[in-house]
Amino acid sequence: MPDRAADLVVPSVAAAVGRLVRRTLEHRFAPSQTRAELLAQIVVAEPTHLVGLTEQARSIGLPVDSTHVAFWVDLRPAHAGEGDPPIAERRRLLASAEMLCLEIMHPSDTWWHVVRVGGSLLLLASDDDGGDGQVLVRAARADVDVAVARLVADEGAVVHVGMGTDQRGLGGIRQSSVEARSAAELALRTGRPGVITVMDTTGLRRVLADLHASPLSRRVMDELLAPLDALGPTRAATAVRTLTAYLDHQCSPKHAGAALHLHPNAVTYRIQRVTETLGVDLADPDVRLGLHLACRMRGLLDAAPAS
């Protein structure tokens, strides 16, 4: 015969123990909260504002001059189904994930900070190893792999993780975080849960990732393409894809057509419709540059390797 008293008492005891563990962790990591708040400011700051944050960061013990690598973690309840999960559920999951990551990473030899930024977690690893940062990258990835596995197993979470490149200095914190966030957004859009996704950040992609992280830049670029967006998602996507290929191939209908698998006349027709909708003249080099950047930013998350 089942013990009904035990059935009632055991869950209550477990919940009480869970609350006690949470309070203990919160007390243990309380001194890092001020640093975490400053890190959140650094991540979203415009590059020109970083100078004013440097001394403040040093004054509260942030290893500004070290090597850093960032991981951006997007968390969603596994049972949420289609659409966004309830805000309360995401907040609960975020709080649990923050404590779990702190618990896992506190004993690590790597210097870690776990930061809430909006509805996501930023995991920042830092180490002044004096090398090229690869020692830090390997150690940090190992810790994050453990954290992701625990989040899936213990919290039933769907986890999308992006990793930035190793960077030095305060600007490096922001740069690596920008790259990690872009990679996490890519992982979410392309359905790559449970693995660390790395954005190809060589050359132009690094510039585009930085532009994408700036609210002002995103607003300007979105305004350039707004007339196309007004056509609806499907037609806008076709127009942007055509315009991107056309500009990528120095305004050649022949080469753009080869890339798009279209006849050059079809490309010419589409571009005429696009320029009429936008009200622009592609003979103007400034117009071409602005639209090219806007199109490439729009396609920034289209492809990147998971590793």
Residue 110: the pLDDT is: 82
Helix, strand or coil, per DSSP, at residue 46: coil
**Is the domain of 148 the same as that of 79?**
yes
pLDDT in tens, 185-226: 878 877 888 889 887 655 666 667 667 666 777 788 889 999
Distance from the Cα of residue 104 to its chain's centroid = 21
Number of Cβ atoms within 10 Å of the Cβ of 22: 14
Residue 277 covered by a domain: yes
* Residue appearing with tokens 């990528």: 248
CATH number at residue 255: 1.10.10.2840
Last residue of one domain, picked from the residues 177, 198, 219 = 198
Say whether pLDDT at 65 is over 90. no
Cβ neighbors of 59 (< 8 A, separation 6 or more) are none
Q: Is residue 100 part of a domain?
A: yes
Residues 6 or more apart whose CB falls under 8 angstroms from that of 31 comprise: none
Residue 183 lies in a domain: yes
For residue 248, being part of any structural domain is answered with yes
pLDDT in tens, 103-148: 888 777 788 888 888 889 999 998 876 556 788 899 999 999 999 9
Nearest to 110 by CA among 73, 149, 75, 71: 71
Q: Label residue 86 left, alpha or beta by phi (over 0 means left) and psi (-120 to 50 means alpha).
A: beta
Rounded-to-integer distance, Cα 293 and Cα 299, Å = 10
Same domain, 47 and 161: yes
Helix, strand, or coil (residue 108): coil
Last residue of a domain, one of 198, 219, 246: 198
Residues 248 and 120 in one domain: no
For the chain, report the end-to-end CA distance as a whole number of angstroms. Answer: 52
Whether residues 233 and 148 share a domain: the answer is no
Distance CA 6, CA 284 (A): 78
Do 105 and 112 contact (CB within 8 A), yes or no? yes
Residue 166: domain span: 36-198
pLDDT digits (tens, 9 = 90+) for 283-305: 999 899 989 988 888 876 444 44
Domain annotation covers residue 272: yes
Structure tokens at 78: 């596994």
Taken in order 98, 126, 47, 61, the sign of the CA dihedral is positive
Specify whether the CB–CB gap between 87 and 141 falls below 8 A: no
Q: How far apart are CA 173 and CA 124, in angstroms?
A: 8
- 41 domain residue, yes or no: yes
pLDDT per residue over 243-276, tens digit each?
999 999 999 999 999 999 999 999 999 999 999 9
Q: How many Cβ atoms are within 10 Å of 54's Cβ, its own excluded?
A: 16
Calpha distance 151→242 (Å, rounded): 41
Beta bridge mates, 73: 121, 161
Residue 21 lies in a domain: no
Higher pLDDT, 277 or 9: 277
43 confidence band (pLDDT: 50, 70, 90)? confident
Please indicate, yes or no, if residue 146 is contained in any of the structural domains: yes
Cβ atoms within 10 Å of 208's Cβ, excluding its own: 22
Residue that is last in its domain, among 166, 198, 230: 198
pTM (2 decimals)? 0.63
User: What pLDDT is recorded for position 300?
Assistant: 65
Domain containing residue 137: CATH number: 3.30.70.270
Q: What confidence category does residue 307 fall into, taking pLDDT thresholds of 50, 70 and 90?
A: very low
